[in-house]
């Protein structure tokens, strides 16, 4: 009998159509399900409440054997719902949001530590983060890690909330770069927002990477083909998808819940990151020659 895994996802169409991450994730899920005569039932909805409505409908109609939960909020109602309906489930996200459900966790706090450390090592001390929606648990975790890592090093840390779209990345970066003391490095929560930040810098005549470094959270062909190519935190997204599918099938088989930690993403340096510009030296009127006048005689 064929098994079906349901995946209801609240994602703006503007982002879903352009963001490579979800395409890679689904490819990884399908790579595991198809050889086992299992299928993925994907439903895109407009809001988190739509996710819950979809799961209820799937349960009532007996359409799925397990569900994937993603982009959860703290104390998300979807977790309580799958427990109420007794549907096997796997959470893609922080185990703290899963209340004992099986989880595949990409260790976002450690990834953010690595992103900030890469910028600090280059000498940046004014850092900014372009985040996804603040209602999401993983956004809050990334932001907390960003602020903690920057401030532990005595660096300035500011953040602006977006929606993962290129448009929001551009608008937020424009706001930051027009500030009296703009950041010298931006960490964007996905590749689309990083592309938007790159467009904002170009619009304002800010040179990347000479005046501004940009790091994308997700690596993708968009990062590699941009001008300059974007440095990124490189996740093995298809492997994450494979792990999600494996754990979903385990849940269907009634195996105990477990936490699977995906490999921590690594910083990949490309043309969008460099040391920050050196502040102009202040002319204090002291022009004394060091070593004397070479033209004077003995």
The reported pLDDT for the residue numbered 15 is 75
- Residue 48's pLDDT is what? 86
CA distance linking residue 64 with residue 241, whole number of Å = 18
Taking only Cα atoms into account, the Rg of the chain, rounded to an integer number of angstroms, comes to: 23
Q: Beta strands 38-45 and 66-70: pairing type?
A: unpaired
H helix and E strand count, the chain:
10, 12
| pLDDT tens string 179-213 | 999 999 999 999 999 999 999 999 999 999 999 99
Phi, psi of 144 (to 5 degrees): -60, -40
How far apart are the C-alpha atoms of 50 and 30, rounded to whole Å? 23
pLDDT at 13 over 90: no
Note the pLDDT tens digit of each residue in 219-268: 999 999 999 999 999 999 999 999 999 999 999 999 999 999 999 999 99
User: Are both 3-107+236-264 and 108-234 of the same fold?
Assistant: yes
Task: Tell me the pLDDT tens digit for each residue of 104-122.
Answer: 999 999 999 999 999 999 9
**Whole-model pTM?**
0.88
> What is the Cα–Cα distance from 143 to 291, expressed in whole angstroms?
52
Neighbours of 152 (CB within 10 A): 11
pLDDT at 291 over 80: no
What pLDDT does residue 11 have? 82
Starting at the edge strand that comes first in sequence, how are the strands of the sheet with 185-188 ordered? Answer: 156-161, 126-131, 185-188, 213-216, 231-234, 266-268
Residue ranges of the alpha helices (H) in 102-231? 108-122, 137-152, 166-177, 191-204, 221-225
Question: Tell me, what's the pLDDT at 159?
Answer: 98
d(CA 126, CA 211): 12
Give the chain's length. Answer: 298
Give the separation between CA 220 and CA 19, rounded to whole angstroms: 9
Mean pLDDT of the chain: 91
Comparing 23 with 245, which gets the higher pLDDT? 245
Task: Fold for 108-234, please state it.
Answer: Rossmann fold (3.40.50)
The ranges assigned to domains in the chain are 3-107+236-264, 108-234
User: 72-92 pLDDT, tens per residue?
Assistant: 999 999 999 999 999 999 999
Evaluate whether 215 touches 187 at the Cβ level (below 8 Å): yes
Digit-coded pLDDT (tens) for 161-179:
999 999 999 999 999 999 9
Fold of the 3-107+236-264 domain: Rossmann fold (3.40.50)
């Amino acid at each position: 009998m064929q098994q079906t895994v349901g995946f209801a996802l609240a994602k703006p169409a503007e982002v879903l159509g352009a963001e490579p991450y979800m395409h890679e994730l689904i490819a990884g899920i399908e790579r595991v399900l198809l050889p086992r005569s299992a299928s993925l039932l994907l439903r895109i909805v407009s809001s988190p409440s739509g996710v819950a409505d979809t799961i209820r409908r799937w349960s009532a109609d007996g359409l799925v054997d397990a569900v994937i939960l993603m982009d959860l909020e703290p104390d998300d109602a979807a977790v309580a719902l799958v427990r109420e309906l007794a549907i096997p489930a796997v959470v893609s996200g922080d185990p703290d949001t899963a209340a004992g459900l099986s989880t595949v966790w990409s260790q976002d706090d450690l990834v953010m530590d690595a992103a900030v450390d890469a910028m600090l090592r280059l000498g940046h001390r004014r850092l900014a983060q372009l985040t996804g929606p603040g209602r999401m648990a993983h956004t809050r975790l990334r932001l907390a890690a960003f602020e903690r890592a920057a401030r532990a090093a005595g660096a300035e840390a500011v953040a602006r909330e977006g929606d993962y779209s290129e448009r929001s990345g551009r608008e937020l970066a424009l706001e930051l770069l027009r500030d009296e003391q703009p950041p010298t490095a931006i960490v964007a929560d996905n590749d689309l927002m990083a592309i938007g930040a790159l467009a904002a810098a170009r619009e304002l005549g800010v040179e990347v990477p000479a005046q501004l470094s940009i790091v994308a959270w997700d690596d993708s062909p968009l990062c590699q083909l941009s001008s300059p190519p974007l440095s990124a935190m490189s996740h093995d997204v298809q492997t994450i998808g494979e792990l999600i599918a494996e754990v979903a099938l385990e849940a269907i088989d009634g195996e105990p819940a477990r936490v699977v930690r995906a490999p921590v993403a690594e910083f990949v340096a490309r043309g969008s990151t460099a040391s920050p510009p050196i502040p102009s030296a202040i002319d204090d009127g002291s022009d004394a020659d060091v070593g004397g006048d070479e033209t004077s005689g003995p």
